[in-house]
Amino acid sequence: MSNTGLPVFDKTLQLTHIWLKEVGETIGPDDQRQYHALRSVLFAVRDRLTVDEAFHLSAQLPMLIRGFYWESYRPVHKPERFRSRQEFLEKVSETLDPAGNIDPEQAARAVFAVLVKHVPEGEIAHVRQMLPDDVLTLFPQA
């Protein structure tokens, strides 16, 4: 059954819903919290990547998620040079909904688990190479 009448939109809505629900397995069932966690972590990752790598990652995201991934992006001075897990989590916190009471570390772990599950291994390897070593501890263990 089609919700929008356009299969491409129905597919991206379905995929986005799947990603959000998987984030929710870690942070809880609230749709708004799931969205804010996904968005904030993707922003922090995106801003740490080179412009080329940010585009490579975006190509692997569902169309709707890709749309908010690019929200407010400015390629000047990218990649940002935060060097620690704490700086990364502070970056995540900057765009989290303060009313949502979301732990940035929990959000990062949830989103990284979803990325590892849905994004090809080669692309995840490229992303991991661009993140500080102690941020990698937030990824699921293989």
Distance CA 44, CA 91 (A): 6
Q: Could you tell me if residue 104 is inside a domain?
A: yes
The one-letter amino acid at 95: T
Instruction: Report pTM.
Output: 0.95
Residue ranges making up the domain that contains 19: 7-138
Q: What angle do CA 101, 105, 136 make, to 5 degrees?
A: 160
Distance CA 32, CA 82 (A): 27
Distance CA 66, CA 39 (A): 10
- For residue 17, what pLDDT is reported? 97
Q: Could you tell me if residue 18 is inside a domain?
A: yes
The lowest-confidence range among 7-16, 44-53, 98-107 is 98-107
Cα 104–chain centre separation: 12
- For residue 57, what pLDDT is reported? 98
Residue for token pair 């090809």: 120
Per residue in 94-111, pLDDT (tens digit) is 999 887 789 999 999 999
Q: Is it the case that residue 1 has pLDDT exceeding 60?
A: no
Q: Is it the case that residue 5 has pLDDT exceeding 90?
A: no
Query: Where are the extended beta strands (E) located within 47-115?
Result: none
- For residue 142, what pLDDT is reported? 66
- For residue 102, what pLDDT is reported? 95
> What CATH number is given to the structural domain containing 12?
1.10.490.110
Q: Could you tell me if residue 70 is inside a domain?
A: yes
Dig out the tokens for 109 from the structure. 């772990």
Q: Could you tell me if residue 26 is inside a domain?
A: yes
Mean pLDDT value across residues 38-44: 98
Q: Could you tell me if residue 75 is inside a domain?
A: yes
Q: Could you tell me if residue 1 is inside a domain?
A: no
Mean pLDDT value across residues 57-61: 98
Q: Is it the case that residue 113 has pLDDT exceeding 80?
A: yes
Give me the chain's average pLDDT, please: 95
- Structural contact between residues 20 and 31, judged by C-beta atoms closer than 8 angstroms: yes
Q: Could you tell me if residue 31 is inside a domain?
A: yes
In the chain, how many domains are there? 1
Q: Could you tell me if residue 2 is inside a domain?
A: no
Per-residue burial over 40-51, b if 16 or more Cβ lie within 10 Å, else e, is: bbbbbbbbbbee
